[in-house]
Amino acid sequence: MIHQGISSKKVTAWLLPITSDITVAVGEFELVHVLPEIPTLFSIPWTPSYCHQVLVWQERIIPLMDLGIRWKMPEKKVETIGLDSSKIGLFIYRVIANNSLDYGALKLSAIPQRCEVYDEWGCSLPAEWRDYARDLHSCFKEKSSSISIPILQLNEIFSVPGYDIQTEYFDTVFPF
C-alpha cells in the first residue's frame, strides 16, 4: 500500500485477525506480545462465555477473551477459533477508573500484521458494526480496499460487563 499524500499524518497500528472474516486494529504500543504457543489456560467460574479463562504471563494473571463470541457475529463469522490453530496476543491498556495500566489477552486467528494508517483513511462505522460501537474507538478504510477496519477500545472491552440493575440482565453471554 503506497500513500501519495505528503502532508497527511500517519500512525502505526497492528491489524489483528480475529477470524478469517474479521480484522480489527489496535495502536502500535497496545500490543505487548504474541505468545509463540498456547499456554496453560485456567477456567474461572461465574465468568462470561466470551472470557472465561486466564493465563499466567510474567507472574501476572491475564484474562483471555474471544471477540468472535463477545460480538455474537453472524453465523458464517462465528467460527470460534480452535486453540490448536489460534494465537494469543497480549495487550496493555489504561483503566479509566483509576488510570492504572492493566493487561488483557485476545484470541487471534493468525499473527498480527503491522501497518501504517493515515488520517484521511478515517471512515464512519459500517452498519454491521453499530451494535459493537461501545467496544470501538473509530474505524478506517485503506485507500485501495473496500473493507472497513474498526479500532478496538481495549479499556472498554476489558472493563466490567454492563449490568441492567432493573432486570438483572447482563448484556453479555454467560455459559449458564
Partner 1 sequence: MILSPSTSMEVHWPQAEHVVQLVIGGNNVILPQRDVHSIETVMDIVSVRPNPGSVGQFTRGGEVWPVYVLSGTLRTIHTPPDDHRIVVLLKYTQLPFGILCQHIVFSHLHEMTFHPMPQVFYHPRSPLVGLVLNKGEVYCATTAEQLGISIHGEKL
Residues of this chain that bind partner 1 (CB under 8 A): 40, 42-48, 51, 54, 56, 59-63, 65, 95, 97, 102, 104, 157-166, 168, 170-171, 174, 176
Considering the complex, what minimum distance in angstroms separates the CB of residue 164 from partner 1? 6
The CA-based dihedral angle spanning residues 26, 30, 33, 38, taken in that order and rounded to the nearest 10 degrees: -60
Alpha carbon distance 117, 143 (integer Å): 10
Given the complex with partner 1, which of 16 and 135 has the nearer CB atom?
135
Q: Which is nearer to partner 1, 65 or 108 (CB)?
A: 65
Coil, helix or strand for 151?
strand
CA distance 45 to 61: 15
Least distance in angstroms from the C-beta of 70 to partner 1 = 10
Shortest gap between Cβ of 166 and partner 1 (angstroms)? 6
Q: What is the CA radius of gyration of the chain?
A: 17
CA distance 74 to 163: 24
Give the residue among 38, 18, 29, 14 at the shortest CA–CA distance from 115.
Answer: 14
Rounded to the nearest whole angstrom, what is the least distance from the CB of residue 57 to partner 1 in the complex? Answer: 11
Of residues 13 and 67, the one with the C-beta less far from partner 1: 67
